[in-house]
Amino acid sequence: MTVAPRVDRSDTNPKEPTMILEETYTLANGVEIPKLGLGTWFIDDGDAAAAVRNAVSIGYRHIDTAQAYGNEAGVGDGIRTSGLARSELFVTTKLAAEIKTYDAAVAAIDESLSKLGLDYVDLMIIHSPQPWDAFGDEDRYFDGNRQAWRALEKAHNDGKLRAIGLSNFQAVDIDNIIEVATVAPTVNQILAHISNTPSELIEHSKANGMTVEAYSPIGHGELLRNPQLAEVAERYSVSVPQLCIRYVLQLGLVALPKTASPDHMRSNAAVDFEITADDMDTLQNIANIEHYGDASVFPVYSAADQTLERTQEIQMTDILKKTDQQTVDGPEEYFTGHVTIRGQFVRDEPSRVTGAVVTFEPGARTAWHTHPLGQTLVVIDGVGWTQIDGGPVQEFEAGDILLCPRDQRHWHGATTTSSMTHVAVQEHVDGTNVTWMQKVTDDEYVAGQADRRS
């Protein structure tokens, strides 16, 4: 394949879809792989040839297909009728996840070449270490993957495959291949996108000599719905897909966005801008996609869903740390005395949840108010008082958790002699989480001096 020279980025036009399409990584075996490829999952066989020809005419030189996509024939047709020499194009296909014996793999590799109508493919990878209906099971199919690998090695040695590799392989699955490989895997193609960056797996793959390819760089389209990303993209005057693609490229990964639309192909390749280190960090830590919509039925996404709970916990901690510095005074109309708010956070999907760390100096308290869905207060410092309308004033202290019932008028704050800090978390209804009422008078505040605990 002819390799275009690397171009100085400094005076390029970020709207032109040319620069990135000419850039390549070098695989461990010396084969050049274009950094940006066209994903073809969900492009029908009948539409695939036109999509490939359009992509090639825009400047794409790398096409990603798979036996499982059912469009190898169309993709091959597009390659052969693209007007470019075969050597100018980089074609990847994938050995079906269910094929875990040597003989079946040998036959399937030949079938791919025959469907594609090509003498060789540039890269063939095992689609998944486990058959899809066993994805995430304990059985890692170690022996079956070694058999499939041996078939890929043979086809590689026979000149049918220029490079061979893996997809969806976790560290143990990689190690299983590395231990016996006579031809080293050059690639691991994995789910990687803004909000889901499997850093340890990326590092393990790289440490074993592999280039990492990011599939679903736009989160299978789900990232298009994230308002936080829209804000970041607007700051750079780019689209969300451009931000997503640039993000994985800046991590040093191959980007494989899927589209059959020539307009999208063009704009997806206009990514000649730089995301700052701070923004890369922010994008890495934004809340994960909670649900990949209709695509959640596919094992690659349901496995990602399963790790969500832990990921969200970590990300919420990160957000608190980052916003901790931004301390603001509680608005006077809602509070009496000095109240400060910091560590504010917002989670928008599937419903809006907000929270903050709130500190009340001695004598400070909220006005009377209600929450449509209630509120949880985790008291982390000092001593406070609270009262539900009609009830006694009660005292609480660090370590207590207060569950403020939905729609019940109440107030809370510090005591007259101690400050009090709590973390407040509440869900919103139609954008509202609180209805504020009149202030708590001094008489109401000290009434009964609280129902002290013994």
Ligand X SMILES: NC(=O)c1ccc[n+]([C@@H]2O[C@H](COP(=O)([O-])OP(=O)(O)OC[C@H]3O[C@@H](n4cnc5c(N)ncnc54)[C@H](OP(=O)(O)O)[C@@H]3O)[C@@H](O)[C@H]2O)c1
Assess contact for 435 and 410: CB atoms under 8 A: no
Q: Give the residue, chosen from 33, 35, 36, 39, that forms a contact with ligand X under the rule CB under 6 A.
A: 39
Q: Tell me, by CB under 6 A, how many residues bind ligand X.
A: 28
* Shortest separation between residue 340's beta carbon and ligand X, angstroms: 42
- DSSP symbol at 158: T
Assess contact for 285 and 257: CB atoms under 8 A: no
69 classed as catalytic:
yes
User: Considering only residues 251-290, where is the footprint of ligand X by CB under 6 A?
Assistant: 256-261, 264, 267-268
- 382 binds ligand X per the rule CB under 6 A: no
- 433 binds ligand X per the rule CB under 6 A: no
User: Considering only residues 285-344, where is the footprint of ligand X by CB under 6 A?
Assistant: 300
Q: Among residues 7 and 68, whose Cβ is nearest to ligand X?
A: 68
Cis before 131 (ω within 30): no
Return left, alpha or beta for 432; rule: phi > 0 is left, psi -120 to 50 is alpha, else beta. beta
Q: Among residues 165 and 355, whose Cβ is nearest to ligand X?
A: 165
User: Considering only residues 170-199, where is the footprint of ligand X by CB under 6 A?
Assistant: 189
Candidates 17-25, 35-43, 114-122, 200-208: pick the segment binding ligand X (CB under 6 A). 35-43
- 419 binds ligand X per the rule CB under 6 A: no
Q: Among residues 239 and 375, whose Cβ is nearest to ligand X?
A: 239
User: Considering only residues 352-381, where is the footprint of ligand X by CB under 6 A?
Assistant: none
Non-local CB neighbours of 124 within 8 Å, separated by 6+ positions:
92, 93, 94, 95, 109, 112, 152, 155, 161, 163, 164, 165
Assess contact for 366 and 413: CB atoms under 8 A: yes
Q: How far apart are CA 205 and CA 174, in angstroms?
A: 8
Assess contact for 272 and 250: CB atoms under 8 A: no
- 70 binds ligand X per the rule CB under 6 A: no
Q: How far apart are CA 143 and CA 100, in angstroms?
A: 8
* Shortest separation between residue 289's beta carbon and ligand X, angstroms: 10
Q: Among residues 256 and 404, whose Cβ is nearest to ligand X?
A: 256
Q: How far apart are CA 105 and CA 87, in angstroms?
A: 25
* Shortest separation between residue 114's beta carbon and ligand X, angstroms: 21
User: Considering only residues 210-229, where is the footprint of ligand X by CB under 6 A?
Assistant: 215-221, 224
Burial class (CB in 10 A: 0-12, 13-18, 19+), 317: exposed
Which residue minimizes CB distance to ligand X?
Answer: 39
* Shortest separation between residue 258's beta carbon and ligand X, angstroms: 3
Q: First vs last Cα of the chain: how many Å apart?
A: 82
* Shortest separation between residue 179's beta carbon and ligand X, angstroms: 23
* Shortest separation between residue 199's beta carbon and ligand X, angstroms: 19
101-130 mask for ligand X (x: CB under 6 A)?
--------------------------x---
- 149 binds ligand X per the rule CB under 6 A: no
- 40 binds ligand X per the rule CB under 6 A: yes
Amino acid at 144: G
- DSSP symbol at 16: -
Q: Among residues 40 and 433, whose Cβ is nearest to ligand X?
A: 40
Q: How far apart are CA 142 and CA 136, in angstroms?
A: 14
Q: Among residues 74 and 241, whose Cβ is nearest to ligand X?
A: 241
* Shortest separation between residue 385's beta carbon and ligand X, angstroms: 52
Nearest Cα neighbor of 369 from 443, 327, 432, 446 is 432
Q: Among residues 41 and 396, whose Cβ is nearest to ligand X?
A: 41
Q: Angle, to 10 degrees, between the axis of helix 142-157 and the axis of helix 102-116?
A: 50
* Shortest separation between residue 144's beta carbon and ligand X, angstroms: 17
Q: How far apart are CA 430 and CA 2, in angstroms?
A: 57
Q: Among residues 201 and 356, whose Cβ is nearest to ligand X?
A: 201
- 156 binds ligand X per the rule CB under 6 A: no
* Shortest separation between residue 226's beta carbon and ligand X, angstroms: 13
Q: Which of 25, 60, 69, 236 is catalytic?
A: 69
Assess contact for 26 and 52: CB atoms under 8 A: no
Beta strands 375-388 and 394-397 are antiparallel
Q: Among residues 160 and 220, whose Cβ is nearest to ligand X?
A: 220
Q: How far apart are CA 414 and CA 364, in angstroms?
A: 6
Q: How far apart are CA 389 and CA 343, in angstroms?
A: 29
Helix residue ranges per DSSP H, 59-141: 72-80, 102-116
- 247 binds ligand X per the rule CB under 6 A: no
Interface with ligand X (CB under 6 A): 39-41, 64, 127, 167-168, 189, 215-221, 224, 239, 241, 256-261, 264, 267-268, 300
Q: Which residues are catalytic?
A: 69
